[in-house]
Structure 1
Amino acid sequence: MNGTSFQSDIRFWLRQGNTVNHLLIWNIVIFIGINLLYLISPNTAFAWTFDQLTLHSLPGTFIRKPWGLITYMFTHVEIFHVFFNMLNLYWFGNLFRSFLGNKRVLPLYLMGGITGAALYMLSYNLLFPGMPSTMIGASASVMCMLVACATLMPNYEIGLLFFGNVRLKWLALAVIVLGVISIPRGNLGGIIAHMGGALFGFVYISALQSGTDLCKPLIWLFDAETRRENKRVQARTKPKKSPLKVVKKPDDNNQLRLDQLLDKINEKGYNSLSAEEKAWLDKVSKEN
């Protein structure tokens, strides 16, 4: 396969409008880029770039580099880390997309990652106050996708090597249980972030089934068609005022009638007024 053919395949893949493909590309590009920096300049360029992309647990460092809340979930260094995350993102991201649409993929990916990061930072500052720690990887976002799919369609079956067909609810439960069991020996920060992503995936689908879309603000932000549709709905529901219809205040109406009666008196005299007009004029004069 020549370079031109490869570039054409990538462009075609991206033009399909599948947000999962875009997420995969961004994660892979950043993985390749940061590893190239490691080969070229491990102690300077790589170290500086990694420090900018990672999520810092210490509040003081996080405040200086808040973009880490987003960039960490697109950053991987180890090959197996990125491989398994991207494999699961491809499976469960496309499964989620097929049921709930493309426009919810990126918002859910981000919200799952943000929830995992928030739980990670909170736990580390409570358990190990003052101890610096960093985190990278899309695991929280991917776990969010998995649990969201399992909550939405718990009995949906997928084929797993060596295990055969497994229902999503059992797969999600197994992954969560394995994560909890491995806390004493595993990557505590990463596992806590996984649980945060899983929690948001469950809460998101539960709220969505009740009629509340927690990702709605991000959907509006990222999806131009949603913004246009909202404008069309507002235009249809907004009451229209006729430029020909002028609504006068009661005081304006009273003044207009008073002027008309005074003109009538000037032209034809007071006796030309009807009994009702005389009574109304007498009432207005007493009020003033």
Structure 2
Amino acid sequence: MNGYNQSPFANIPPVVKNLLIINIICFIPVLMFDKGPAGPNPISDNFGLFYFNSPNFKVWQIITYMFVHGGFAHIFFNMFALFSFGPIVEYSMGSKKFFNFYFICGIGAILFQMLIQAYEVHAITGAFTIDHPKLDESYLAFGQEQGSKLYGIYHSSIVGASGAIFGLLIAFGMLFPNMELMIMFIPVPIKAKYIIPVYVVVELFLGFQQFAGDSVAHFAHIGGAILGFIMVKIWRLQRPNNFY
């Protein structure tokens, strides 16, 4: 077989390839068993991540939440980013270091999100933990708006690889700052060192703004980005000399 007929997946390094495969496989039971907002959602409820004081929290969720996605668009954009940026970063770091990097960013992302949730719980209740109300209406003791926020923290799971993906994007931007990227709806290429910080700023804005109906864990994205930046600095990662 000549080079022109080679599969576009042939040169994907092992960690990225296996992450793509595992995420796609894990999405199948979500499609089969989770029913969305109407529920029940046995996959998301058992393997998505809940606040540490939630009755639904299980320790394994710190890892498994990265492999559960909430819909086709969610998994498509995360896997597209992993497929687009992951190989070059894995080749630069080496597979073992990339594996560690990906999971450190993913775990750090959710711990950062949980820290923000703890702050929000404390702001509402004066404590970081509460007794678990047996009835949904019990949260209304804190008022309609605050009670709804508290209920969401305790009864909504966080899913997706976005925290790890944001760490990956930061690593790519730091290792290859002058690489030009084509962005949807923007007709000209933009260097990574300009566009990736914009993504982070947007996530920071959305996290603080908290628009109604926005269920995205923006601070998990920020946490992944922070961990990605720290790891690149600590490991003193640099662009390989043979890259052009």
What is the TM-score of this pair, normalised by structure 1?
Answer: 0.61
CA distance in 2, matches of 1:101, 1:65: 32
In the alignment, which residue of structure 2 is the partner of 1:179?
A: 203
Unpaired segments ≥5 residues, structure 2:
1-6, 123-129, 131-149, 239-244
Asked if the contact 2:166/2:224 (under 8 Å) is kept, the reply is yes
CA drift at 1:86:
0.7
Asked if the contact 1:124/1:189 (under 8 Å) is kept, the reply is no
In the alignment, which residue of structure 2 is the partner of 1:218?
A: none
Deviations 1:142-196 (A, max 9, x none): 0000001112222222333434322111121110111122231454761000000
CA distance in 2, matches of 1:195, 1:94: 22
Deviations 1:12-33 (A, max 9, x none): x699752111111111111122
Q: Does structure 1 residue 18 correspond to structure 2 residue 14?
A: yes
Q: Does structure 1 residue 160 correspond to structure 2 residue 183?
A: yes
Change (3 A) 1:36 1:111: same
Aligned pairs for 1:100-111 (under 5 A) are 100-111=93-104
Select 2:157's aligned residue among 129, 134, 143.
134
Q: Does structure 1 residue 203 correspond to structure 2 residue 230?
A: yes
In the alignment, which residue of structure 1 is the partner of 2:219?
A: 192
Change (3 A) 1:14 1:61: farther
Q: Does structure 1 residue 94 correspond to structure 2 residue 87?
A: yes
Deviations 1:199-229 (A, max 9, x none): 0110111111189xxxxxxxxxxxxxxxxxx
Change (3 A) 1:48 1:143: same
Select 1:76's aligned residue among 69, 77, 89.
69
Aligned pairs for 1:179-258 (under 5 A) are 179-183=203-207, 184-186=209-211, 187=214, 190-209=217-236
CA distance in 2, matches of 1:61, 1:14: 44
Instruction: Answer with 1 or 2: which has the greater Rg.
Output: 1
Q: Does structure 1 residue 37 correspond to structure 2 residue 64?
A: no
CA distance in 1, matches of 2:117, 2:43: 23
- Single out whichever of 128-137 and 143-152 deviates more from structure 2: 128-137
In the alignment, which residue of structure 1 is the partner of 2:60?
A: 67
In the alignment, which residue of structure 1 is the partner of 2:42?
A: 48
CA distance in 1, matches of 2:89, 2:50: 30
CA distance in 2, matches of 1:126, 1:188: 18
Asked if the contact 1:158/1:166 (under 8 Å) is kept, the reply is yes
CA distance in 2, matches of 1:76, 1:55: 12
Query: Which of the pair has the greater relative contact order for Cα pairs under 8 Å at 6+ separation?
Result: 2
Unpaired segments ≥5 residues, structure 1:
1-9, 212-288
The residue type equivalent to 1:121 in the other structure is M
CA distance in 2, matches of 1:188, 1:120: 13
Asked if the contact 1:14/1:22 (under 8 Å) is kept, the reply is no
Asked if the contact 2:200/2:222 (under 8 Å) is kept, the reply is yes
CA distance in 2, matches of 1:121, 1:136: 13
- Equivalences, count: 197
The residue type equivalent to 2:201 in the other structure is V
CA distance in 1, matches of 2:187, 2:196: 14
The root-mean-square deviation of aligned C-alpha atoms, in Å, is 2.8
In the alignment, which residue of structure 2 is the partner of 1:147?
A: 170
CA distance in 2, matches of 1:14, 1:32: 24
CA drift at 1:120:
0.8
